[in-house]
Every structure is written in C-alpha cells, then in structure tokens.
Amino acid sequence: MILGVPAAVYTFIHVLLSLIGIGSGFVVLYGFISGRLLSGWTGLFLATTVATSVTGYGFPAHKVTPGHIVGALSLVVLTIAILALYRFDLAGAWRSTYVVSASLALYFNFFVLVVQSFEKVPALKELAPTQSEPPFAIAQLVVLAAFIVLTVKAVKRFRIEAAPAV
C-alpha cells in the first residue's frame, strides 16, 4: 500500500499521469514552435506534470534518490511556468521564461521516462544494466540535444502578441 492505495494502482496512476504529461507537453511544445498558445493542452500539461512530480514522492524511500531531485527541480520550473503564464500573463521576458521553464519540465519528465525505460524494458536493461554504460549515456545526450534545439526554436517562434489562444 502507498498512501492507502494498493501499490500497483498507485504506480499505474503515477505512470499514466506521466505519460499524459509527456504527450500533452509535446503538443504544447508544438504549439510554441507554431507560434500558438494551446490553452487547453497547456492546462492539461501543467496539471499532469505537477501531479506526476508530486505523486513521485509517495513511493517508499529511505533516502533522497535521483528521482526526488529531478522531481524537486521539475516542481521549481513548473512553479515558474505557472507564474509566468497565469500571474504575469507572458508579458515581456515572462514569455521566454514560460517557454523555457515549460520545456524544461517536459524534458525532466522525458528524462525520467528514458531512465525508467532502461530499468524496465528488458532489451534496454541488457544494453545498460547499471545505466552507466554508453547506450544509456548516448540516449540521454540525444534527448538533451533534441530538447535544447526544440526549446531554442520554441523561444524564437512563440510570440504571444501574434498568437491568439486556441
């Protein structure tokens, strides 16, 4: 049991929230690159990504883990994204701040997906059983490079003044 919920159910909910956050996050990132604020998708992305980070702390642990650190970083950048969007209305530098922080939150969620894939998918676990082998490092570097390129492109193309909410 985790917080009064059967462990399998809790894990399923956590993973489902994560996958919804990643999927909706890519839609939001596409919106940035297309110069559009996709309000409904944005709300879904922010809510499920916050919920993913928060529920990650419900799993039993006897020490601080890398997952706790990534979760904390994610919650910090999500707080910045939420403030930039809902408190500061993407005015001035808050527009770029929002794009970068939302993209970073998506990256953190995707980073954990790669880690979990190498832990749980037998073929990937065989390639990198301790996650210190080159295939794991290469996968994470490719993901990081892709997110840097996409985030730079998103910052350059997302202009809220010319982009009505959809």
Question: Which one-letter DSSP state was computed for residue 90?
Answer: T
- pLDDT at residue 163 in the model: 46
The structure's pTM equals 0.89
DSSP string, 55-70: HHTTS--SS--HHHHH
Say how far apart CA 156 and CA 149 lie, in whole Å: 11
Q: Domain residues of the chain, as ranges?
A: 7-162
Mean pLDDT of successive 10-residue segments in the chain (166 residues)?
84 95 97 93 97 92 90 97 96 94 97 94 94 94 97 89 50
* The two structure tokens encoding residue 15: 């993973």
- pLDDT at residue 61 in the model: 85
